[in-house]
Structure 1
Amino acid sequence: MGYLYAILASLLFGLNGSTTKVIVEAGVTPAQLTFARVTIIAVVAGVVLLIKNRHAFRITRRQLLVMAGLGLFGVALVQWFYATAISLLPVGIALMLEYSGVLMVAMAARFVFQEQVKARIWVAIGAVLVGMALVAQIWASPLSGLGVIVGLLAAVCLAVYFLVGERQVASTSPLAVLFWSMLFASAFWFFFSAWWQFDPMLLVSRTSLGGSLESVSLPLWLLLLWNGLIGSFMPYLLSYLALATLSATGAGIVSTSEVIFAFAFAYLWLSESLDVIQMLGVLIVLTGIVLAQTARAGQTLDLDLARRDPPVTKQH
């Protein structure tokens, strides 16, 4: 069941990319969408904690400051950069750029935190760089330069999320980290998302799903609810369930299938396609990401930070 939960989580995360693009194209700014999304997750996570683990609300002042930083850089900005990248690039490519943050984590572990990192990291770096060059087709530059830059900024923030978040789940529950980080992200976007400029009547307006689903229209409020609840909180929950039977290594590698699902849904739903060279580039990037996932000796991260593989200890 663990692999089934992990695959379902990746599927929902992947589908949410296309949903995000439809919402942004309907007139919701990336900042407003991010505010709605993180607020929904914070509320749901808070309710679950209130029912199951009230002690998780008690954290130290130092933890509160760290959670604030995690919420700002690892959540608020990464989701905004991602939503912005999706508005400028095909969904799958935007997500692939963001996922290169996994590679940045391994590099930071090696050069900043002096962790033991396996030699495969250099192969991973080469694979990701070559693969992205093929996907972006840099010789023809068919992609938005701003979109690529924003996608890479999302990767940097995702690396911050991993590096800070994985250290926090060692001292408190993963759901608590999710709640506090989303709460601070919500507080940040409350002031900077310009939500007051959003027309409330847009919520009840019907929005076409576009692409192959052009004839289907849904109320915008329903799409926003899906984005925050089914497309965000539920994948996290499924990932936690997966980790009840899988190691973080297994769950982390399975989570990379999100990129494949994102491309598949974008193709079937939004008619966003890749040529043969770009598809080859995607496969090479995924190979590099998997190698980077397993390059850190004794631990592999997964998107929800629910658990890490325990450090390898030497036997005497």
Structure 2
Amino acid sequence: MARTPRPAVGYALTLAAAGFFAVNGTVSTLALQAGISAPRLTALRCTGAAVVLLAVLLAVAPDRLRVSRREIPMLAVLGVVGIALTQFLYYVAIGRLPVGIALIFEFTAPVLIALYVWLVRRERVRRRVWAALGLSLAGLVLVAEVWTGGGTLHPVGVLAGFAAAAALATYYLIGERATVSRDPVTLTCWAFVAAAVFWAVAAPWWLFDAGTLARTVPISVGSVEVPLWVLVAWIAVMGAVVPFWLSISALRHLPPTAAGLVATAEPVFASVVAWLWVEQVLSGWQILGGAVVLAGIVLAQTARSAPAVPPVPESPAPLGS
């Protein structure tokens, strides 16, 4: 029997996913401050998410895990560039920038996608893409407070944020076509597996001192301390797998473009969480700039003639319905 879409449920699921991803930004910041390097934290997150997703699919639908040889190169690029590098660059950015600001830079991916499909694929795009580009650039000028000489933002963090946007755009563009022949759940599962294999080579797990995870670290809530492995477990499960399933479930009730527009709430949520939890305070100009960038992203999402994919940063997001 056909499933009846319920838009209200779809909006709720998308907002919940954005909330989990937003909290994950601050949790990841705490893990980085505790001494885990960006490559190691990315490796732990990718490997943990891959193990959980594989276990679930093996238990529920093992037949969906079959992969043909022709798919392997695509899955490798999707996993290495789209997931491994996107998450690594995001962690580099939030290690040097407020979480909300890092997401603003990464969230420019839809603008890059709109320009790419117009310049390279020769797809028709609406004229609003130029307004989207203009708003995004103007907003980034405000975020960076360039009239101060750019001294308020770490240059490495800014470069990492833009590089993460490019990697995320690659993830969407490859995944958008891959979902024509493969469902988003197993596609993202294998992409995480590819990312985990990549990090097993780039940052071998056998060189990691697992005893580090037993060290207790402060979580900026009074004098509370928790073992570091608790933060890492949250990042892999509650910061990746759970919001991924929420995002996938939302697409049963919403078209991808609508889900993508709702997902732009994530930088807002992330900034609020970081402000309340670790007192990352943004200036008035940065808040205004973030709002202008988000307006540009909304226009970019609706600039393509074909439905666009939802921009869920640094995440195993659904790539199409």
The letter of the residue matching 1:244 is R
| Counterpart contact for 1:204–1:219, Cα < 8 Å | yes
**Matched residue of 1:139: which SS?**
helix
DSSP 3-state at the match of 2:146: coil
Partner of 2:293: 285
How far 1:259 sits from its partner (Å)? 0.8
- Identify the match of residue 82 of structure 1 among 57, 81, 90: 90
Q: What code does the residue aligned with 2:298 have?
A: V
Match of 1:269 in 2: 277
Q: C-alpha displacement at 1:196, in angstroms?
A: 3.9
Indicate which of 213, 216, 224 corresponds to 1:206. Answer: 216
* 2:258 is equivalent to residue 250 of structure 1: yes
- Residue 299 (structure 1) shift: 0.6
Q: Does the CA contact (< 8 Å) of 2:44 and 2:236 recur in 1?
A: yes
1:201 CA displacement: 2.1
CA contact (8 A) 1:243 1:306 kept: no
Indicate the residue corresponding to 2:4 in structure 1: none
1:197 offset after TM fit, Å?
Answer: 4.2
Residue 167 of structure 2, aligned match among 142, 146, 157: 157
State how far apart, in whole Å, the 2-side matches of 1:205 and 1:158 are: 33
Q: Quick check: 1:117–1:296 contact (8 Å CA) kept in 2? A: yes
CA contact (8 A) 1:28 1:198 kept: no
Match of 1:30 among 4, 25, 38: 38
> Which amino acid is the alignment partner of residue 101 of structure 1?
A
Alignment of 1:62-77 (within 5 A): 62-77=70-85
Quote the Cα distance in structure 1 between the aligned partners of 2:138 and 2:205: 40
Aligned to 1:166: 176
Alignment partner of 1:84: what SS?
A: helix
Unaligned 5+ residue runs, structure 2?
Answer: 1-8
Inter-partner Cα distance in structure 2 for 1:76 and 1:145: 22
**Structure 1, unpaired ranges of 5+:** 309-316
Kindly, what percent of the aligned residue pairs are identical? 38
Deviations 1:260-310 (A, max 9, x none): 1111111111111112111110100000011111111121211323424xx
Q: TM-score, normalised by structure 1?
A: 0.94
Work out whether 1:115 is the aligned partner of 2:128.
Answer: no
**Which of the residues 11, 15, 24 maps onto 1:3?**
11
Contact 2:216/2:227 (8 A) holds in 1? yes
Letter in 2 for 1:143: L
> Structure 1, residues 225-256: CA drift from partner, whole Å, max 9, x if none?
00010011100100111111111121111111
CA deviations on 1:42-78 (whole Å, 9 max, x unpaired) are 1111122212322222222121111001111111101
Indicate whether 1:179 and 2:189 are aligned: yes
In the alignment, is residue 192 of structure 1 matched against residue 234 of structure 2? no
Distance in 2 between residues matched to 1:59 and 1:297, nearest whole Å: 31
Q: How far off its partner does 1:40 sit?
A: 1.2
Q: TM-score, normalised by structure 2?
A: 0.93
Query: Size of the alignment, in residue pairs?
Result: 306
Task: Select 1:215's aligned residue among 215, 223, 229.
Answer: 223
Moved over 6 A (4+): none
Q: 8 Å contact 2:257–2:302 — kept in the other structure?
A: yes
C-alpha displacement at 1:194, in angstroms?
4.7
1:295 alignment partner, SS class: coil
The structural deviation recorded for 1:199 is 2.7
Contact 1:81–1:151 under 8 Å retained in 2: yes
Match of 2:6 in 1: none
Q: 2:20 aligns with which of 2, 8, 12?
A: 12
Counterparts of 1:299-314 in structure 2 under 5 Å? Answer: 299-302=307-310, 303=312, 304-308=317-321
**2:67 paired with 1:59:** yes
Q: Distance in 1 between matches of 2:51 and 2:124?
A: 38
Please provide the CA RMSD for this pair.
Answer: 1.2
Rounded to whole Å, the distance in 2 between the matches of 1:73 and 1:224 is: 22
